[in-house]
Chains A and B, each alone.
Chain A
Amino acid sequence: MAHHVLQMPVGEAQARALRTGDTVTFSGSLFGIRDATQIHMFDRGRKARFDMRGHAVIHTAPNVRKVPASNECPVGYQPVCVGTTTSDRMERFTRPLMAQYGVRFVIGKGGLREASADAFRELGGAYLAIIGGTAALETTWIERILDVDLDDLNPESLWHFQVRDFGPLLVAMDSHGGSIYERVREVAAGKRAAALAALGVKA
């Protein structure tokens, strides 16, 4: 159970060094992405203009305030509350994010499934779990909104954040086939019969 301090972007070897149960804190760039963003990128053929090779994406649609552009707010957006949404709905976009855009890490809550695990294994990436619903804390790790693309989809735009000491995040799925979610699903399945028996349900 190692703790990794990373500066983004990272290479394949750094991504593959992560193991489930490890923790990660990183600084640099982070890209915010959500349902509509990815539906437009991968189902409707829109091209994102950011270079996301070696970077992390986070499943988010932040609360932001429109302000005059400044060094602090280069594109006129100030973060108000930046949190994380449930990843499972975006399961089918993990592979194209990695294959077409070179993304290494997906950050989200609630986990992803088999197709994402395969993509992490084949292409070298990981799922980093953030604690859902703790957005007030998460917002303190965001320094600036550097840029925004596909902003007609606001709040589901493609956001480019500058972050500092973002984490700790838990490596919940790694590039070696490990998934804490899968393990917990097996544990729960193993306990189902006893739970039903305790409720007096006849088998």
Chain B
Amino acid sequence: MSGKLHIDIPAVEEAAKLLYIRALKLLPDDIKRGFRRLDSAETDGTAKTILATMIENIAVAEKTDNLLCQDTGIPIFNVEIGRDVEVDGVELKEAIRRGTARATREYPLRSSVVHPLTRKNEHTSSGIRVPVINIDFVDRPRTLRIEMIPKGSGSENGSFLKMLIPADGIDGIKTFVIDRVMEAGGKVCPPTIVGVGIGGTSDLCMHLAKVAATRELGSVCSDPEGAALEKLLSNAVNALGIGPQGLGGDGTAFAVHVETAATHITMNPVAINIQCHSARRASATFTPSGVEIGF
């Protein structure tokens, strides 16, 4: 018996299909806890009613085995490959594409994906470079993890990038976050997770914002400077009075999450990507003992 974990490609296809449907139906516990925390702190009557309806919707989706939200999103798959894993990467990507298309046709799900110029919908939730598949390598023994995120468009349209300059400083970053959260208002389906990317190149900065927006609630930026900033910003956005659905109240965001990367001496980029209150995700972890499905 070799010490390698061999990844079965049909199992990846099944997992991709299962994860897409599961993510659309079940919210992770950290998001449910986030709702309870916002609800208990909310002082606005309308906002409390809205939060109660959102919490009720989570229960209705579970009871009726239905999707939480009609927006099936743009499917994103984050693949983490650990040590001593044997997998054909090209086949892995193809299996994820097949699983996505099968979930769409077999469930059936609304395909929310169109060609960017012709606007033609292939009814597979797929197209050029979609599903988005991100592959990374991690220092874990004999593990391959696939995380699935159906990213809704209302919040994805609340994405912003600004190539600030060094003279704008951290003040420029903070001001940008406050102003863009105000601009997004109710359009991004608050309460949200505001993902902020700081540093890197323009594309890395935007990617970091997505990583931040889709991170588990309660998790903390591994860079202590970023961790301090996300705490400050979380309090600040919830002092704006935008509230759930932009109809007023305290609970504008579950949290602001920050991710950082080193940047150039002449640059100070900041990016925002927002996750709506239907902060959906699902995961499959392949190990020598089998496939574990979770969030």
Report which A residues bind B (CB closer than 8 A). Answer: 36, 60-66, 80-86, 88-89, 109-111, 129, 131-137, 139-140, 154-155, 170, 172, 180-181, 183-185, 187-189, 191-192, 194-196, 198-202
Contacts and interface: CB of A to CB of B under 8 A. Distances in A.
Nearest to B154: A86
Nearest to A60: B70
Given A137-B57, A184-B243, A80 B277 contact: no
Given A86-B157, A134-B57, A195 B110 contact: no
Contacts of A82: 70
Nearest to A62: B70
Interface in B109-159: 109-112, 119, 121, 152-154, 157
B60, B71, B185 — most chain A CB neighbours (10 Å): B71
A63 B53 CA distance: 21
B182 interface: yes
B8 to A, nearest CB: 30
Contacts of A188: 182, 185, 240-242
18 contacts: A81-B66, A81-B69, A81-B70, A85-B70, A85-B154, A86-B189, A110-B189, A110-B246, A111-B185, A133-B54, A133-B189, A135-B66, A135-B67, A136-B64, A155-B112, A155-B121, A195-B239, A196-B178
Contacts of B61: 136
Contacts of B69: 81, 83, 132-135
A34 B151 CA distance: 19
Contacts of B46: 170
Nearest to B239: A195
B245 A81 contact: no
Nearest to A132: B189
A65 B105 CA distance: 10
A109 B51 CA distance: 14
Nearest to A197: B236
Contacts of B277: 133
Contact of A199 (B68, B108, B186, B233): B233
Contact of B246 (A111, A192, A195, A201): A111
Interface in B4-63: 46, 50, 53-54, 56-57, 60-61
Contact of A109 (B64, B175, B236, B245): B245
Contacts of A172: 247
